[in-house]
Amino acid sequence: MNILNLYFSQTGNTQKIAAKIAAVLEMDGHRVTTVPAEKHLDLDLLSFDFIFAGSGVYQWLPGKPMLDFLRQKRKENAEQGNIVPCAPRHPNKKAVIYCTYGGVHTGIREAVPAVKFCGQLFDHLGFTIVDEWYYIGDFKEAPMKKLNRGGRMGDISNRPNEQDLEEIGRRARAIVTV
Ligand SMILES: Cc1cc2nc3c(=O)[nH]c(=O)nc-3n(C[C@H](O)[C@H](O)[C@H](O)COP(=O)(O)O)c2cc1C
């Protein structure tokens, strides 16, 4: 399978997940293109069978390079006639949208807008969103580091941890068979 593994990571958490996805799927013999999002990436999204797209959550949305990428690709694909009313499905094109987030203030609800926003480009292109993943990611830098304790998700220090990454590996392997 030809897989795009697109991500944006400001402080490294989402990058760990993208690296795990790449490792397990390459081991299973898939062709995986792993690439950090940026505005002008020369990528034909419709050439991929399966797309993983993930970002950290920053003020409820994906990071700016991911937002720039999504907006640029929406524009290019609209101009190319790839985005049409009713967004007909491409039967064999699927996507997983995921994020890492802290959830300190309102829990998963502050991450949902990021994942939903990110998914819309792929949905508009006719990819079926087969799953959405929400993984906890801690704050790495002062002064935000103190938020790792006392928020709605409890102590989120050192997440994603090894256990999270093992789970992600299992889920990545399984979801591409859907
Ligand atoms: C500037 C900044 C803003 C953030 N805003 C949010 C937020 O609105 N909601 C949330 O749940 N987490 C928020 N977080 C926590 C990050 O989503 C979390 O640490 C994530 O794992 C970062 O991903 P990365 O390491 O791949 O950049 C924020 C983190 C930073 C550094």
Ligand 1 contact, 60 CB (< 6 A): yes
Q: What is the pLDDT averaged over residues 79-95?
A: 97
d(CA 39, CA 93): 23
Query: Cα separations (Å) of 86 from 65, 74, 82, 103, 125?
Result: 28, 15, 12, 34, 10
> What is the percent of the chain with per-residue pLDDT over 90, rounded to a whole number?
100
Note the pLDDT of residue 59.
98
According to DSSP, the residues that pair with 52 across neighbouring strands are 5, 96
Q: Which of 156, 116, 119 is nearest to 136 (CA)?
A: 156
- Largest pairwise CA distance in the chain: 49
pLDDT, one tens digit per residue, over 115-135 is: 999 999 999 999 999 999 999
Task: Give the position, in ligand 1's atom list, of the atom nearest the Cα of 12.
Answer: 25
Q: How far is the CA of 137 from the centre of ligand 1 (A)?
A: 7
Ligand 1 contact, 144 CB (< 6 A): yes
pTM (2 d.p.): 0.98
139, 144, 152, best to mutate for ligand 1 pocket (most atoms within 8 Å of CB): 139
The number of beta carbons lying within 10 Å of the beta carbon of residue 92 is 10
- Which protein residue has the closest C-alpha to ligand 1 atom 23? 56
Q: What is the pLDDT averaged over residues 19-45?
A: 98
Ligand 1 contact, 139 CB (< 6 A): yes
Ligand 1 contact, 55 CB (< 6 A): no
Structure confidence at residue 10 as a pLDDT band (50, 70, 90): very high
Note the pLDDT of residue 133.
98
Note the pLDDT of residue 39.
96
Domains in the chain and their CATH numbers? 2-175 (3.40.50.360)
